[in-house]
Amino acid sequence: MTSLTPILTRSWGDETPWKLESYEKAGGYEGLKKALGQSQADLVQLVKDSGLRGRGGAGFPTGMKWGFLPAPDGGPRYLVVNADESEPGTCKDIPLMMADPHLLVEGVAITSYAIGSHHAFIYIRGEVVHVYRRLLKAVADAYAAGHLGKNIHGSGFDLDVTVHAGAGAYICGEETALLDSLEGRRGQPRLKPPFPAVAGLYARPTVVNNVESIASVPAIVRGGADWFTSMGTERSTGHGIFSLSGHVTRPGQYEAPLGITLRELLEMAGGIREGHELKFWTPGGSSTPIFTAEHLDVPLDYESVGAAGSMLGTRALQIFDETTSVVRAVSRWTDFYAHESCGKCTPCREGTYWLKQILHRLEHGKGEAGDIEKLVDICDNILGRAFCALGDGATSSITSAVQLFREEFEAGMTQPASELFPPERSALFDYTPRRSAGAAAGAVHA
């Protein structure tokens, strides 16, 4: 039985864990002091040895990413932290920055030192104003305490950190779109190559890392690579935050070694809500193909989830019980992708627009002959044809849901999802039916 490993989430239950003195009292910024005494190459090697893989979804080895930077040429190079957490179901970076912002700031300082960056940016999702404020305060406090700024702790290393709030676009979580947005341009993904390591922010060598990846660095520096690899599996080392949401008794963030199973996590979370059973779930947010109860014992590491036909993604486990219409769930997700498609490439822009309309038909019991085949074929025309991974993600839930629950889509030819699966049954709270459009003045939802 795997047990929880609260490292990133250790302090979340403490009194005011976001304050600098709380963080320092618990040994905060010790990792930075230790790191500043080491050579930069050793630090990069340490993170390589730890096997830490990007926690933002793609799982690319973090140390290797740092190693891709060309040799210093005297010009600036940047660290950019991707804090634009927007994937449906994903809720790990936001609470981390809310509860323990200094952990991220320390990670930023160590990483910047390791890669030779003197200016780091944290690009935070614009909607979470409270988190943005807390991060700004943490950075200001860190400056005042000498953890940032000129000649940090007498090491001679200078670092400025800029916290930047985005304007609320899912696409800006794509690293090159994020860089464009950070530069003040329209947030759309860039053509690669050149990759950010060669020409990223302001066309300079840039490392873009997820919040959780960077926040994992201080503990690796303190504990060493062996400590980190003692957790997780051989190729998916270490710990990570698993966000359980939906029809579970105790939804929330569970930090555990990679390779834990949903069955184990559900036990910790008190199981599926009383009197219900698991129908389907996402292993890594809405962009990953869905799983069912069959997959309860799939180890949640990069390789095993991949082998089982999905992706570990951001470890956003959205749990749905038997009261849920898969058509309705997929239709909502597709609405999200159609809304968030940046519009740059044809397959994603037009494809999601079309998928959304077909799914709405099926959801309302007005499907037409051939709609299911059409859905699957449109997905095939988007997957791997779009400019970035947003388009691919938009198709994952649809194709997997059709595979696993085709009969529900077929029922959509004649029966509305709301009849087959009355929404009030799956709601965790009292269900308030939406007023039909124009029924009453002042209706908020049109």
The nearer residue to another protein, 191 or 439, going by C-beta atoms, is 191
Indicate whether 345 belongs to the interface with another protein (CB under 8 A).
Answer: yes
| Selected binder of another protein within 3, 357, 403, 414 (CB under 8 A) | 357
Geometric angle at alpha carbon 34, from 31 and 39, rounded to 5°? 120
CB-nearer residue toward another protein: 235 or 374? 374
- Of the ranges 155-163, 235-243, 345-353, 422-430, which one interacts with another protein (CB under 8 A)? 345-353
**Packed helices 371-382 and 346-363: angle between N→C axes, nearest 10 degrees:** 160
Q: Give the interface size with another protein as a residue count (CB under 8 A).
A: 36
Q: Is the CB of 108 or the CB of 378 nearer to another protein?
A: 378
CA distances from 110 to 28, 154, 159, 240 (A): 12, 15, 10, 19
x/- mask, another protein, residues 232-271, rule CB under 8 A, reads ----------------------------------------
Closest to another protein by CB, 34 vs 349, is 349
Q: Which of 209, 344, 402, 408 binds another protein (CB under 8 A)?
A: 344
Give min distance, CB of 367 to another protein, in A: 11
Does 339 contact another protein by CB under 8 A?
yes
Computed from CA positions of residues 349, 245, 101, 195, in that sequence, does the dihedral angle turn out positive or negative? Answer: negative
Nearer to another protein, 82 or 352 (CB): 352
- Which is nearer to another protein, 144 or 203 (by Cβ)? 203
- Positions in 165-184 near another protein (CB under 8 A): 169, 171
Q: Is 17 helix (H, G, I), strand (E, B) or coil?
A: coil
Q: Is 122 in the site for another protein (CB under 8 A)?
A: no
Helical pair 389-404 and 371-382, crossing angle rounded to 10 deg: 150
Of 362-401, which residues contact another protein (CB under 8 A)?
368, 370, 374, 377-378, 380-382, 384-387
> Both tokens of residue 356?
């959304």
Options 25, 133, 150, 186; binder of another protein; rule CB under 8 A: 186
Nearest to 52 by CA among 8, 85, 113: 8
Q: Is the dihedral of CA 441, 438, 362, 407 positive or negative?
A: positive
Q: Is the dihedral of CA 178, 183, 184, 185 positive or negative?
A: negative
Note whether 91 and 81 are within 8 A (CB).
Answer: no
Nearer to another protein, 296 or 376 (CB): 376
Q: Which of 178/342 has CB closer to another protein?
A: 342
From 82, 352, 399, 426, residue interacting with another protein (rule: CB under 8 A): 352
Asked if 74 and 115 count as a contact pair (C-beta separation under 8 A), the reply is no
- Does position 138 bind another protein by CB under 8 A? no
- Those residues whose C-beta lies under 8 Å from the C-beta of residue 289, and which sit 6 or more positions away, are 309, 310, 311, 396, 397, 399, 400
Residue 351 engages another protein in binding (rule: CB under 8 A) = yes
Our CB check for another protein shows the closer of 5 and 352 to be 352
- Least separation in angstroms between residue 309's CB and another protein is 16
Residues in the chain: 446
Q: Does 347 interact with another protein (rule: CB under 8 A)?
A: yes
Distance of alpha carbon 16 from alpha carbon 259, whole angstroms: 31
The answer to the question of residue 349 lying near another protein (CB under 8 A) is yes
Contact call for residues 290 and 398 (beta carbons, < 8 A): no
- Binding-site member from 255, 340, 363, 408 for another protein (CB under 8 A): 340
Nearest residue (CB) to another protein, 273 versus 344: 344
Burial zone of 440 (CB within 10 Å; 0-12 exposed, 13-18 middle, 19+ buried): exposed
DSSP alpha helices (H): ranges in 75-210? 93-99, 101-115, 129-144, 175-182, 196-199
Q: How far apart are CA 355 and CA 371, in angstroms?
A: 10
Q: Which of 342, 372, 398, 417 binds another protein (CB under 8 A)?
A: 342
How would DSSP label each residue in 382-425?
HTTTSSSHHHHHHHHHHHHHHHH-HHHHHHTTTSBHHHHS-HHH
Contact between 350 and another protein (CB under 8 A)? yes
Nearest approach in angstroms of CB 381 to another protein is 3
Other CB atoms within a 10 A radius of the CB of residue 95 amount to 18
Q: Which of 354, 410, 418, 420 binds another protein (CB under 8 A)?
A: 354
* Cα(431)–Cα(425) distance, integer angstroms: 8
- Binds another protein (CB under 8 A): choice among 43, 122, 269, 338: 338
CB of 175 to another protein, least distance (A): 16
Least distance (Å) between residue 358 CB and another protein = 7
Q: Which residues are at the interface with another protein (CB under 8 A)?
A: 169, 171, 186, 188, 191, 338-347, 349-354, 357-358, 361, 368, 370, 374, 377-378, 380-382, 384-387
